[in-house]
Amino acid sequence: MATMELRGLRKTYGKTTAVSDISVDIADGEFFVILGPSGAGKTTTLKSIAGLVDVDAGSVHIGGVDMTRVEPYHRNVAMAFESYALYPQKTVSENLASPLKSGRTGKYSSAQRGERIDQVTTTLGINHLLQRFPRELSNGQRQRVALGRVLVRPADVYLLDEPLSHLDAKLRAAMRAELKQLGQMSNTTTVYVTHDYQEALALGDRIAVMREGELVQIGTPQEIWRRPADTFVARALGQPEMNLLDAVVDAGDGGATFRLGDGSVDLAVPAGAQVSRGDRVRVGLRPCDLSVGDGSAEGIRGRVLLAERLGRNVELTVQAGGEQVVVLVSSRSGVGEGSEVTLTVAPDDIHLFAAGSGGEDTARLDAVRTSSMEALA
């Protein structure tokens, strides 16, 4: 295990910038997750750390040693690719043993190799497949064997490139828990790439949200969820996505409010918000943070246009003040299409972002400005 420092990493392919000025410190034993959509530069970042691509600028330090120009073989990192990397002519047991027979890991005895293979395969649920060949395995089983080939090898850093992408939903959920357990057992520094926000929240000690080759925000899962830096990050976490509603800051007898949509809906401005009267803003409301009551209660009144059952939850689309707001409720709530409802939300669960146009992403407005609330009085 080792610390890792990336400084000003940049990699281009012709006119396309895959990674632009990536700088981050990763602690010894940390499980660090890079979250982003396809084409964000996640895999290129991993390959830059592993030495599989030559960076145009910047440096990679592992354990305090500059590895920028060191060959991949000598970096002592283990990488799992999204595609399978198995020897077709070898059994599962032989595939798993091969990383322990060469290089720095060649010092392991047969008994030690067997013990390590047993530990990893038991955790991954593939210990009954040791004598099979890759052609005799399902895609999910091959994926777990490929992941096992990486985890079985002691290394300073594990680099995992969407290792659960080919698994079904049930197995992915189980594997998230198993990977977390493996990370705690090995205490090895791990950089994990994914486009799945649930994996990021479940596994990461810290999460870096990536877009178009740049890191937009780095923080703990709680920080990323509770205080997204901009609307891109806000939409990256959560399904259904956060509601983003255009609003104007107003002031009345009850204090500062947002007037949403056609002006018939008021929402209290959270204390300490950096806004002034007349400001145009975007209000972010997570569907899971909204509570639904009957139409006679105080709050945002609206009517349910659509109710989609999603197992134990129901996704409601509510027409309120000329806007459509998505809400998640329990399937036992009894709320259906055509129901008159009232939506309420705790002030701490209201997210404020700068106004924008079209699909433009805008920054969070959360700095405390002493004069802002006084101006609204």
Number of H helices, E strands in the chain: 9, 20
Domain count, the chain: 3
Bridge partners (DSSP) listed for residue 217: 209
Question: Within this chain, do residues 171 and 276 fall inside the same structural domain, yes or no?
Answer: no
The CA distance from 308 to 313, in Å, is: 9
Q: pLDDT tens, 270-321? A: 777 778 888 899 999 999 999 998 866 678 889 999 999 988 889 999 999 8
Question: Within this chain, do residues 259 and 117 fall inside the same structural domain, yes or no?
Answer: no
CATH of the domain at 310: 2.40.50.140
The CA distance from 192 to 153, in Å, is: 16
Which string of DSSP letters, residue by residue, matches 67-134?
-TTS-GGGS-EEEE-SS----TTS-HHHHHHGGGSSGGGGG--HHHHHHHHHHHHHHHT-GGGTT--G
CATH of the domain at 153: 3.40.50.300
Spacing of C-alpha 8 from chain mean position? 22
Q: What is the pLDDT of residue 366?
A: 65
Question: Within this chain, do residues 177 and 198 fall inside the same structural domain, yes or no?
Answer: yes
Question: Within this chain, do residues 231 and 247 fall inside the same structural domain, yes or no?
Answer: no
Question: Within this chain, do residues 42 and 74 fall inside the same structural domain, yes or no?
Answer: yes
Instruction: Determine whether 370 is exposed, middle or buried from the number of CB atoms within 10 Å of its CB (0-12, 13-18, 19+).
Output: exposed
Question: Within this chain, do residues 203 and 300 fall inside the same structural domain, yes or no?
Answer: no
Question: Within this chain, do residues 56 and 91 fall inside the same structural domain, yes or no?
Answer: yes
Q: pLDDT tens, 334-377? A: 888 999 999 999 888 999 899 887 778 999 886 433 333 333 33
Question: Within this chain, do residues 278 and 298 fall inside the same structural domain, yes or no?
Answer: no
Question: Within this chain, do residues 311 and 367 fall inside the same structural domain, yes or no?
Answer: no
Domain that holds residue 142: 4-236
Question: Within this chain, do residues 76 and 13 fall inside the same structural domain, yes or no?
Answer: yes
Q: pLDDT tens, 171-228? A: 787 778 777 776 666 678 999 999 999 999 999 999 999 999 999 999 999 999 999 9
Q: What is the pLDDT of residue 371?
A: 32
Instruction: Determine whether 377 is exposed, middle or buried from the number of CB atoms within 10 Å of its CB (0-12, 13-18, 19+).
Output: exposed
Q: 253 vs 311, which has greater pLDDT?
A: 311
Question: Within this chain, do residues 145 and 268 fall inside the same structural domain, yes or no?
Answer: no
